[in-house]
Amino acid sequence: MTISCLGYLGLTTTKLDEWPTFSETVLGMMPVSAPDGELRYRIDDQAWRISITAGPEDDIAYAGYEAASTADFEDVKSRLTAMGIAFHNGDEHLKRKRQVTDLICFKDPQGTNIEVYYGPDLATEVPFTSPVGVKGFKTAQQGLGHIFLLSTEIPALRQFYMDALGFTLSDIIHMPLGTPESVDLEFYHCNKRHHTIGMAPVKLPRKLHHFMLETHNLDDVGYALDRARDNGIPVTMGLGKHTNDRMISFYVRSPGGFEVEFGYDGVAIDEHWRITRHTSASSWGHRRTE
């Protein structure tokens, strides 16, 4: 065993002042206290899951992957050492800031800051309450959701996430896109969530295409879609169902640029899972609206 889930996500934005409306009123995340200049949100019992700070670009700043035990934590260190990937131990200041028992820090092949930690603070003494009534997000052993990365270095990225962090290929979407004629979207899991990481060989100014949050019911997806439209947030892809993880979802553009997928009913990986290939990303819907 290595990592068990995506535990927290740090984002930077050029439009921090627009994020509270987006993250609280549209997505329904719960704001919690944070250091000056930072916005932090809960989506479950964990003390925080998403952090947003002002920065020169709208992108992923760091991703925190959870090791469920100290043995798993040590296993990640052994893998990194064997692969010649340099890492350092998080100092006391960073442990306090991230609200974890211990962590290590290193970079993935395209320079994204990766942290592996164990022992996150929970805040069960204050129940998770969505400011707009979302009846909870699907997290627990499946982590906070998923991220989809764009990279021109897919072979190195693939090797890193599989060999260093222990991800397993779920499936591939072989998509005709015009130029180049086709691209393969690759999806990787580290728990029952169909994918915690997706990646595609696409060059954009940012590395993060989107992150995804999953609710427990269809109504919460529908209400969020209405709140996006009511608050003037661009819906980039309308409601649809993905071919591979079967998630019923829509996509919105966050302040500054990257997208957020908001969905429900993703398929769970089980012991009978087999790698398949699809030639379309969606069974129905997900029509581009911009």
Which residues sit at the interface with Fe ion, rule CB under 5 A? 212, 261
Q: Give me the least distance between CB of 247 and Fe ion, in Å please.
A: 7
User: Which of residues 100 and 213 has its CB atom nearest to Fe ion in the complex?
Assistant: 213
Amino acid at 149: L
Distance between CA atoms of 24 and 14, rounded to whole angstroms?
18
Residue 27 CA from chain centroid, whole number: 14
Nearer to Fe ion, 134 or 212 (CB): 212
Q: Which of 206, 187, 212, 210 is nearest to 197 (CA)?
A: 187
Q: Exposed, middle or buried, 19 (CB in 10 Å: 0-12/13-18/19+)?
A: buried
User: Min. distance of Cβ 105 from Fe ion in angstroms?
Assistant: 26
To Fe ion, the closest distance from the beta carbon of 251 in angstroms equals 8
Q: Which is nearer to Fe ion, 105 or 224 (CB)?
A: 224
Q: Is the CB of 106 or the CB of 148 nearer to Fe ion?
A: 148
| Amino acid at residue number 188 | Y
Taking the CA atoms of 15, 19, 20 and 25 in sequence, report the sign of the dihedral they define. positive
Looking at the chain, how many residues does it have? 290
CB of 261 to Fe ion, least distance (A): 4
- Phi/psi for 245 (5° steps) reads -95, 0
Q: How far is the CB of 147 from Fe ion (least distance, A)?
A: 8
Q: How far apart are CA 228 and CA 11, in angstroms?
A: 20
- CB nearer Fe ion, residue 115 or residue 261: 261
